[in-house]
Amino acid sequence: MTLTTALRRTWPGWVAFFAVLSLVYFPVVQGMVEDWATDENYSHGFLVPLIAGYLVYRKRDELNQTPVGTAPIGLAVVAGGVGMLVLGWLASEYFTMRSSLVVVLAGASLFLLGRRVTGKLAAPLAYLLLMVPIPYVLYNAAAFPLKLFVTEISVFTLKTMGVVVWQEGNILMFPHITLEVANACSGLRSIMSLLAIGVAYALIFHRSNIQRALLILSTIPLAVITNALRVVGTGILAKYFGEAAAKGFFHEFAGLFVFMTAVALFVALGVVLKRIGI
């Protein structure tokens, strides 16, 4: 039985499933969307479901040629997802509650469509996890060492360029101004956004798993290096144009410019990988 035929025969069950899913997860998804809208670290969340849907659409012919079956283990996976939702609700832990939605969707796919079809949907389902904001405990734990690393790279670069600067932790001290390397300059925000874009780019434009892995792993050094350039640029502005230039419009514009630079370098790396044929 093809996927199209199976969906035509079982559409009432799918409608009932998504109706119950929407009812249960509406407050969970609503809170997540509010985070996307108010927290710049997770604004990419709006794109993730759309990209996941496009990844499924690209596989439509392949999915329709894959035999549909059923896997009873899917019920256990759904039960596990519901358990995550309940535990997350009891502990007021949003990451567990929100991640449980992806687990429930994967379990339903296993039970209603079988292992083969779910295997084809594995990448889009896993991609949905990128829409879930990570706990701020983990965010802060990762941002602090990244912030120090970016600061050290920036200080070394500035000193090499002849700029007088002292470092105290994540503080840069110039003769007439003191700047702080904040979480926004740590590179973590860029890593998360670049990861969401990079995984989609790798899945859509590259078939080699090695190329995909290299591209996805490259998001971390690219984000860190480009954010270090942002700090260096801010330091140069502070030296030659004063505090107003370093902390004003040009600093905010630098954030967008740095991210676009990271995206351009990422795409260039993808082109190189294709050319050399890894």
Reading the chain (278 residues) residue by residue, the pLDDT tens digits are: 677 777 777 777 788 888 999 999 999 999 999 999 998 888 899 999 999 999 999 998 898 888 888 899 999 999 999 999 999 999 999 999 999 999 999 999 999 889 999 999 999 999 999 999 998 888 888 888 888 888 888 889 888 888 888 888 888 888 777 777 776 666 677 888 889 999 999 999 988 889 999 999 999 899 888 888 888 887 777 777 766 655 654 556 667 788 888 899 999 999 999 888 76
Which of 101, 133, 165 is at the close of a domain? 133
Give the C-alpha separation, 181 to 266, whole Å.
Answer: 24
CA atoms within 13 A on the CB side of 181: 34
Pair of tokens at residue 113: 């469509």
Query: Is 156 in the same domain as 78?
Result: no
Query: Is 270 in the same domain as 155?
Result: yes
Query: Is 260 in the same domain as 151?
Result: yes
Query: Is 87 in the same domain as 69?
Result: yes
Q: Could you tell me if 200 and 209 are in contact, meaning their C-beta atoms sit under 8 angstroms apart?
A: no
Query: Is 122 in the same domain as 199?
Result: no
Query: Is 127 in the same domain as 142?
Result: no
Query: Is 45 in the same domain as 117?
Result: yes
Which of 133, 149, 166 is at the close of a domain? 133
Query: Is 48 in the same domain as 152?
Result: no
Query: Is 174 in the same domain as 93?
Result: no
Query: How many domains does the chain divide into?
Result: 2
Which of 110, 133, 156 is at the close of a domain? 133
Range of the domain at 100: 3-133
Query: Is 18 in the same domain as 79?
Result: yes
Give the C-alpha separation, 109 to 12, whole Å.
Answer: 15
Is the torsion defined by CA of 23, 28, 31, 33 positive or negative?
Answer: negative
Query: Is 20 in the same domain as 124?
Result: yes
Query: Is 181 in the same domain as 129?
Result: no
